[in-house]
Every structure is written in C-alpha cells, then in structure tokens.
Amino acid sequence: MTPASLADSRVQAALRHGVHALQRVANYALPAALDRRLQQLGENKEYLGAAEHEELLALVTFAQERTLEKLQAELALRELQTLLPDEGQP
C-alpha cells in the first residue's frame, strides 16, 4: 500500500476534520452556569460543607483539564499552520 500524500482528498478531509475538532476545543469556554457556580463556591470556600467542598474541587479539576486541552489544541493548530502554511485552513 502506498502512503497517502497531502494532495489526496482523503488526507485533506482528515485534516479538515482534525482542524475543526481542534478549533472547537481551542474555542471552548465553560458554560456560564458552571463558571458562576465555580466562582460562588470559590468565594465562599471557608464556609463550605464537605459536599460543597468536594463539588468545588471537582469543578476546579474540570476547569483545569479543559484549560490544558485548550492550550494543547491551540499549540497543535499553530504547529499545523507552521508545517502546512501553503495548505491554508485544511
């Protein structure tokens, strides 16, 4: 089997789908309700019960993981643009 080239329509389609997925991750923002809840819990952390403290920790972990994913997606998009500048937006 011969390797596919960048000119192959299947490769172009795969790149388009990959770039689209990366853009969605890079543009992610916490839903407003989650952001408000995180802020509310964070501002009152001294007064939280065990369940709310656990909720705060879970929300912080979730937000940190999404931030890391956003940064990784942004880096991947920049690397693709550097590697394939003539391809434009696949």
> What is the pTM for the complete model shown?
0.82
Alpha helix positions (H), the chain:
9-26, 32-43, 50-83
- What pLDDT is attached to residue 87? 60
| Residues 48-86: b if buried by 16+ CB within 10 A, e if exposed | eeeeeeeebeebeeeeeeeeeeeeebeebbeebeeeeee
2-30 pLDDT, tens digit each: 677 888 899 999 999 999 999 999 999 99
Tell the burial category of 18 from Cβ atoms under 10 Å away from its Cβ (0-12, 13-18, 19+). Answer: middle
